[in-house]
Structure formats: C-alpha cells, structure tokens
Amino acid sequence: MADTDLNSQLVEQVRAAAVNATPLCIVGGGSKAFYGRACAGDPLDVSGHRGIVAYEPTELVITARAGTPLAEIEGVLAANNQMLPFEPPHFSEKTTLGGMVAAGLSGPRRPWGGSVRDAVLGVKLLNGRGEVLRLGGQVMKNVAGYDVSRLMVGALGTLGVLLEVSVKVLPRPACERTLRFDSAAKPSRLAEMPISASLELDGRLYLRLSASSRCVEMAADTLGGEAADPAIWTAVRDQTLPFFQSELPLWRISLPPAAPALNLLGNELIEWSGAQRWLVSDLPAQTIRQRVGALGGHATLFRNHAATDSVFQPLAPAMLALHQRIKHALDPHAVFNRGRLYPEL
Amino acid sequence: MMNPTFLAALRAALPSNALLIEDEALRPYECDGLSAYKQIPLAVCLPETLEQAQSILRVCREHQVPVVARGAGTGLSGGALPLADGVILSLARFNKILQIDADNRLARVQPGVRNLAISEAVAHLGLYYAPDPSSQIACSIGGNVAENSGGVHCLKYGLTVHNLLALKVLTIDGELLEIGAADNPGALDRPGYDLLALMTGSEGLLGIVVEVTVKLLVKPERAQVVLAAFASVETAGAAVAKIIGAGLLPAGLEMMDNLSIRAAEDFVHAGYPVDAAAILLCELDGSNAEVSEQILAVREVLLSAGATEVRTAEDDAQRMKFWAGRKGAFPAVGRISPDYYCMDGTIPRQHLARVLGRIGELSEQYGLRVANVFHAGDGNLHPLILFDANQPDELHRAEAFGTDILKLCVEVGGTVTGEHGVGVEKLDAACSQFTPEELSQFHAIKAAFDPDGLLNPGKAVPTLHRCAEMGRMHVHGGALPFPELPRF
C-alpha cells in the first residue's frame, strides 16, 4: 500500500465529532481489538494514514504516520541493522505504530532494552478540540513543555488521535543465542550476563544472550544449559505459544521482579526475570488483584473477558479524579474511546 | 508585606526553625544556579515531615499564595527563582535514604537526597544510579525529577525519566498521590496514564515530589575512554555519525571545540591536544571482553573518519584525567572570561555543522566569543557565550545571542532545552518552539493539577500573551498567531 497522508481528513472528522459530541472509536490495524474494555462510538479509521516520514539511521530515530504497519517499520530498521529496542508484540500482521503506542505493550527485551514509553520521543497529536499539536520531538534530550507524548503511551486512545510518532531505535546486537535450563538447576550470577530475555514455563527456564559473538560465547560457556530455538521469543511476544491457547481468562501481572511466587490457582508463565507474569485462571478478579496489589503489582485482564469487565487495576479515588481532569484537558467533549480504559474516562 | 493571617497560619503549621521570614535569612534563597535572576520570597518553609509539607500547601491554597519548590538550588534555568508574593518550599530536610533493595535493584529516597549520595550508598552492592548531571555532587534527586536531568551518559542510559520506578507527590491541596506502588515499588509499569512521565520534567508546576524510587544498575566491569583529535568540527561531527552508524553505542560521547579545549587544558592539564579544532571523548563500558572489542572498533572508525590522533586512556587515572577536562569545561571557561552564559539546545546531529557554522557567524555579529561543549551522542549543545557583565550592554547582547541560538535549534528540528529546563530563562525561547494551541494545551494540563495556578506560576510554559508581546512567536503556515490580541 502506498504512503497516504490523511491528516486533514482526520482533523475534519474529529472537529465534526467535537461539535456534536459524537463519540469516536479510534481504529488502527484492529490487532488489539480484544484488549481493553469495549468502546462505544463511530469508528475513526487511522490505518490509511501511513508512511515513514523520516529515518536517518545515524540519528537513531524513526518518525512515521500512526497507521504505518509495524512490520514495515521493523523491515526498514532491520535493513539498516537496527531495531525497536522494546520488541513490541504483533498480534497480527496489521499491527500499526499508533496501536503499539496506544496499547503501550513491550516484549521480551523490555527490562534490558526499555519500554515503548522509554523510546517515544515525540508525537503529532490530534486532540479533542481538533487541534494538531507537535509534542516532544525527534531528539533524545528534550525538556521543553510537559512530556505529553509519553502520556499517550498506554492511554488506549482516550486522550487523542496519534498522527505521527518519533521513536528511538538501537543497533541490533551482533549476536544472539537462546539457552534452556531446568528450573531446578537455574544458573546463578545472572546480573553480570548479557541477558536480553527470560522466560519460565513448565519447569524450564529460557534465556537469550545478546552481545558481540565473543561475549555471547563466553557467557554461554559460563552459564551452561542447552541451545534452544530462538523462535520461542516471537511466540511468547505474539502469544502464539500453546500456553496462551485457552478459553479461560488470561491475566497480565506486573510485579517487582523479586516478588515471591503468586501461588494463585492457574497456569503461569514468567517473563522479564519475574517482573511480568502471565496467569491463565478463572479465579475471581478480586482475589487476583488483592494478592498482586499486596505485592506491589497490578493485574490486567488481558484476554477472554466480558466487554464491560474491569480490565485494568482500579485506581484510587484521588488518582481516578486526576485522570478524569487530564482526560478533560485533552478531550473536553469526551469524543475519544469512551470507556476503553476505565468506565469513567 | 505578608498577610498577618497567612503568617499566623504558617506559624501554626510549622516549628519555629522551619520558617524563615527575616530578610537576611531569606537572602540565600534569592536565586538558584541561574544567578542573573534574583528575588526575595515572602518566606521560606523547611518542612521535615510529610504532614508539615501538607499543611504548608493547604495554607497556601487557602490564602492563594504561590509555592515554589526548591531542592538544592543548583538548577540552571531559574526554576527555583522565588516569587515576591510566594513562599519557597524547600525539600532540603527531606534528606533520608528510606530503602535500598538490591534484589529489585532500586532505592527509595526522599527528594532532598543528593544525586551522587544514592550511588555512594549502593556502591558496596556493585550498583549505581545512572543519570549523572554535572552538578551531581550537590543537586538533589527531587530537583532531578523536576527538571528531568540528564548528564553525559544519556545516549546509553537515558535521562531521569528512564530511571524512575515510583513517586509520591503532593498536590496543591496537600493530597498525597502515589504514582506506582510507592511503598512497595519495583514493578516496571503502572495502571492508568503515565503520570510518572508527565511529572518528570514538569518543573514544579504540577505537584511537589516528596518521595522518589529510582532504578539502580549494575556497575559495568570496565569503562574505557578514547580521545580523538580532529582538524575541523565538521569532521568530528561526521565521526560521531559514523560511530553510531557502525552499530556502536558508547556510554558517553562528548565533543569540545578549540576554545573549550584550550581553556580546559590550562585549567586541569588533562593532556588535551591544544591545536586540535575539536576533540571527541568516547567512553565505552561493559564487560572486559566487550570493552576490548569496542575500543578496537571505535579506534578504527575514528581513524577512517579523519581523526588526526586517537589515544586510549592507558589506565583509570588517565581516563579520569580525560574526563576531568570535559567536566571542568564550564569553570575552565569561567577562568578566561568574567562571565559566561550557558545554552542548552538540542539538535538532530545531522545539522551539527550548519548549526556550529551559524553560531560562529552570530559570534562575530554580536562581538562575543563562544566556546562549544557538546553532548555529541545525543545532540545536546552547550555553547558558552563569553561576556563581561560589567561592560554596558554585554549581558543584554549575550542573552540576545543565546535566544538566536535557541531559535536556530528549533529551526533545524531541535529543542530550546535538552536538560536544563525552561524555568524563567527560556520562556521567550519557548515561544519560538510552540504554537498557541500547544501552549494552551500545556496550560490546560497544568489546570488539571493546579486549577488556581499556585505551583511555580509563570515558569516553564510561557503565557500566550507573553509570546505575542515578545514578538518571538511561532509562525505557523505563514499566518500570525494570536489575532485576538492587541499589538504594540
């Protein structure tokens, strides 16, 4: 598909919606339609607004329109031996850059390479007044104005329509290797190793090493273990592993990495050295959230839930009130993605 | 004069040693690191407990008195400049390290703790806190959060915003907000909007930071510095792009021009090549094997990029020496000029030659020398404009020169401030970066936190009126902004 600029068309649609206070549901590739709460409103299709706007590899920044497929961006980066350091999921080949930012989900490399929000440098945003704002920029260091571009990450489109996004990119590691261990015989001294992904499932620990070939060699010699297929990282990132093929609710649990075992009834997969744990379980939401909250974490009902469920960890009253005021500051007529994140937003 | 009811309410809220109102006691607070601007505040409050800080805010809200938060007062943009009708809320007594958690690699600290004190407190665990602003020996972590401070290692390790896990913040109502599980921190993300990012760099306009949880990193096994000399700043700039293009990610990558090199060499005798038009300092860190490989690769790139000389620090002492010159560049320039004015724009690196060339032209036009120190890896420029405040008109010319430099940064797609903040200093410059709609959006976000505009009012985000009056407005699509405002 050719690059297209739908800027003025999208501005017109949002202005009309603002005047009539018509709710809109922002749609990109639709690959994360299952994620979050249901959204009531007319679809606002951003997927046609696509194309890479600027990419100079030595600047370590890429800028593209929000509807650009992630696969296209990653293809261009790979051709220049670079990558998105946060390894975002592709739940289908239609996943877009805008959807990636709106959902704010990062993949296996996140604890070592940073998150989506860490890498976002700037956005061109269409707010609820139909105004086009350039926030942040294309440079690594920028402290002029509030950091509104990072506020968009994970906001699920409730604050505005992303038109363009600038993201920091990094060189690809020269060498990567995946190792498998018995969970009973986990290696120690991991802190000094060039690890870039971890996964525990069914009594096995998988680690990925990323560095120069000599360093990977040396680390692998020290760690031991067996060589394993690196395809497991894409499979866990995109949730195509058999673990994820269940009709039961899937929970994403974010915790301090050293938090103890959850001991919640269900099937569990642990990533990010313990900081991200997936749980397939039909326990009541309250039971899960109480346990996770007590450990300093939060739990998201990721898949297989009802459209009206409380998908995200409820906010304290003062925090929710502040969220409502921030929403109002960017989207005063409440046109964008009503209820998608929290029923009150 | 202070309203007596307001004073009585403050007195009731604070022990006597936590409230300063006498002129000589207020004097040390009249400015921060930007000493060109001075103002005596109504009062200085030095709370020691959360409850005291909450009471101060409630009293100020009730009496509609502005509040300016202050950490160590080392900021370079006037963010902590007092207001004549406002109080200073100093966080200096919030100076405790509350928790060190090596397993989760974090430290929970009060905002008045010094940046370097965190790394010192965890050094025995082989850990450190990565952002290292040049003032790290004195600056406080709360101030770092307010300014989103950087340092010389941002390219690889990020700014303050990339190294935080949780915050506790007081609103203007004195309400305590927890951003992230502040009492049980360590999770890498939080439900809801990313208020951690929004608070970071908000220059005290949205809330008062009362507790900070920072991420700790494992100290790299080895760090090594390579120094390269170049016959022109253009070749040095091109060499930076070649290093990045080769897939290398140095921990630090700094450039200095000839005037800075000579000033630094005279000051610390770092062994710099004083005839070079520019030098690059490239620090590589990681495991021993990794650093050895990278040094070879970097040397090769530098030589093929036209370096006239490439030196690798032979030992840690020489590495420290190489860095001492760079880190001492500001005071070194202070020795060759009665005063200097430090700028802080960031540009996409590909425009470096053009920007430095134009700065050279402006230098002649204004009749003021300029020394360029540059965080080359991330495009953050620190041109130091040399002037003499005792000469009539020189301060004014230096400021005008500085504003021109910042406009130039915006023109090439950069920003007016990379790490020092807008404060009061760059309000006019910010007018050239943002449209009226963008400024209005910022003001609306501020109002969501602080409807009466009592937290550090007048800083960081210029008013539409100011931008119109100063005539330094962002011209969008050829149309003049603010058609509704009168012109003079």
Q: Which stretch of B255-264, B334-343, B361-370 has the lowest confidence by average pLDDT?
A: B334-343
Is pLDDT above 80 for B195? Answer: yes
Q: Domain check: are A225 and A159 in the same one?
A: no
Residue A59 lies in a domain: yes
Of B147, B191, B200, the CB nearest to A313: B191
Same-domain check for residues A181 and A167: no
Shared-domain flag, residues A213 and A165: no
CATH code, domain carrying A218: 3.30.70.2560
- Asked if B194's CB is within 8 angstroms of A312's CB, the reply is no
Interface test with A, best of B147, B189, B249, B253 (most A CBs within 10 A): B189
Long-range Cβ contact pairs of A274-277 (< 8 A, separation 24 or more): A275/A111, A275/B186, A275/B187, A275/B188, A276/A110, A276/A252, A276/B188, A277/A253
Listed residues A142, A172, A202: the one ending a domain: A172
Nearest one of A18, A23, A19 to A39, comparing CA atoms: A23
- A82 and A152 share a domain? yes
Domain presence at residue A335: no
pLDDT at B260 over 50: yes
Among A172, A191, A226, which residue terminates a domain? A172
Please state the rounded mean pLDDT for residues B102-121: 98
Interface of B with A in 324-363 (CB under 8 A): 346-350
**Sign (positive/negative) of CA torsion A123, A127, A132, A134?**
negative
The tens-digit pLDDT sequence of chain A (345 residues) is 679 999 999 999 999 999 999 999 999 999 999 999 999 899 999 999 999 999 999 999 999 999 999 999 999 999 999 999 999 999 999 999 999 999 999 999 999 999 999 999 999 999 999 999 999 999 999 999 999 999 999 999 999 999 999 999 999 999 999 999 998 888 877 888 999 999 999 999 999 999 999 999 999 999 999 999 999 999 999 999 999 999 999 999 999 999 999 999 999 999 999 999 999 999 999 999 999 999 999 999 999 998 888 999 999 999 999 999 999 999 999 999 999 999 999
Spatial strand order in the sheet of B106-109: B97-101, B106-109, B208-215, B164-170, B176-179
Of A131, A151, A328, the CB nearest to B437: A131
Question: Among all residues of chain B, which has the CA nearest to that of A300?
Answer: B191
Contacts of A129 in chain B (CB under 8 A): 437
Chain B residues in contact with A211 by the CB 8 A cut-off are 286-287, 290
Question: Do the domain assignments include residue A229?
Answer: yes
For residues A225 and A202, state if they share a domain.
yes
Please check whether residue A81 lies inside any domain of the structure.
yes
Chain B residues with CB under 8 Å of A111 CB are 188
**B142 has a pLDDT exceeding 90:** yes
From chain A, pick out residues whose CB is under 8 angstroms from the CB of B436: none
Answer yes or no: do A97 and A154 share one domain. Answer: yes
The pLDDT, as a whole number, for residue A191 is: 80
Encoding tokens for residue B13? 């809220």
Taking the C-alpha atoms of residue A292 and residue A263, their distance in angstroms, rounded to an integer, is 10
In this prediction, residues B238-242 reach a mean pLDDT of 93
Q: What is the 3-state secondary structure (H, E, C) of B389-441?
A: CCCCCHHHHHHHHHHHHHHHHHHCCCECCCCCCCCCCCHHHHHHHCCHHHHHH
Alpha carbon distances (Å) from A65 to A4, A47, A48, B59, B291: 9, 9, 9, 48, 38
Across-strand partners of B400?
Answer: none
B224-239: average pLDDT: 95
Note down the domain range covering A232. 175-303
**Dihedral, A35, A39, A42, A47 alpha carbons, nearest 10:** -20
- Sign, CA dihedral A295-A296-A300-A305, equals positive
Q: What is the mean pLDDT of residues B155-171?
A: 97
- A255, A297 contact by CB (below 8 A): yes
ipTM here: 0.97
Asked if the Cβ–Cβ distance from A146 to B188 is below 8 Å, we say no
Answer whether residue B487 shows pLDDT above 50. no
Give the pLDDT score at A1. 63
Chain B neighbors of A194, CB-CB under 8 A? 287, 290
Q: Are A107 and A216 contained in the same domain?
A: no
CA distances from B404 to B345, B419, B426, B472 (A): 11, 18, 12, 10
> How much is the pLDDT for B360?
93
What region does A303 belong to: left with phi over 0, alpha with psi -120 to 50, or beta? beta
**SS3 of B358, please?**
helix
Q: Which of residues 151-180 of B touch A (CB under 8 A)?
A: 154-155, 158-159, 161-162, 171, 175, 177-178
Q: What mean pLDDT is predicted for residues B14-42?
A: 95
Do A17 and A147 belong to one domain?
yes
Q: Is A340 a member of any domain?
A: no
Test B449 with A325 for CB contact under 8 angstroms: yes
State the smallest CA–CA distance between residue B26 and chain A in angstroms.
29
Q: Residue A189: what pLDDT? A: 78
User: Are residue A210 and residue A292 in the same domain, yes or no?
Assistant: yes
What pLDDT shows up at residue B330?
Answer: 87
If we measure between CA atoms, which residue out of A332, A142, A146, A132 comes closest to residue B442? A146
Assess whether pLDDT exceeds 70 at residue B474: no
**B 105-144 near A (Cβ less than 8 A):** 105
Q: Establish if A343 belongs to a structural domain.
A: no
Distance from B201 to chain A by nearest Cα, in Å? 6
Question: What residue type is assigned to position B147 of the chain?
Answer: E
Interface test with A, best of B76, B77, B194 (most A CBs within 10 A): B194
pLDDT (0 to 100) of residue B478: 35
A155 neighbourhood in chain B, CB within 8 Å: 193-194
Q: Which B residues in the span 29-68 are in contact with A, Cβ-Cβ below 8 Å?
A: none
Inter-residue contact B419 to B136 (CB < 8 Å): no
- pLDDT recorded at residue B476: 41
- Write down the pLDDT at residue B479: 39
Contact A38, A308 (CB under 8 A): yes
Q: Quick one: closest CA in A to B193, which residue?
A: A155
What's this model's pTM, rounded to 2 decimal places? Answer: 0.95
pLDDT attached to residue B475: 41
Which domains, and CATH codes, for chain B?
Answer: 4-90 (3.30.43.10), 97-218 (3.30.465.10), 222-330 (3.30.70.2190), 337-421 (3.30.70.2740)
Q: What pLDDT shows up at residue B477?
A: 35
Q: Which tokens go with B430?
A: 């910010």
The pLDDT value recorded for residue B163 is 98
User: From the list B190, B289, B378, which residue is nearest A215 (CB)?
Assistant: B289
Quote the pLDDT of residue A185. 82
Over residues B284-314, the pLDDT tens digits come to 999 999 999 999 999 999 999 999 999 999 9
A267 falls within a domain: yes
Distance CA B284, CA B226 (A): 8
Residues A61 and A139 in one domain: yes
| Res B471: pLDDT | 63
Query: Within this chain, do residues A229 and A153 fall inside the same structural domain, yes or no?
Result: no
Residue A286 lies in a domain: yes
**Cβ contacts (< 8 Å) between B155 and chain A: which residues?**
140
CATH of the domain at A132: 3.30.465.10
Q: Which residues contact B471 (CB under 8 A, 6 or more apart)?
A: none
Residues A190 and A270 grouped into a single domain = yes
Q: What share of chain B is helix, strand, coil (3-state, %, to 5)?
A: 40, 20, 40
Structure tokens at A37: 């709460």
**Residue that terminates a domain, selected from A156, A172, A188:** A172
Q: How many CA atoms lie within 13 A of B350 on its CB side?
A: 13
Kindly state the average pLDDT of the residues B413-442: 94
Per-residue pLDDT, A151: 98
Contact criterion met (CB < 8 Å) for B461 and A145: yes
Chain A contact for B417, CB < 8 A?
yes
Number of domains comprising chain A: 2
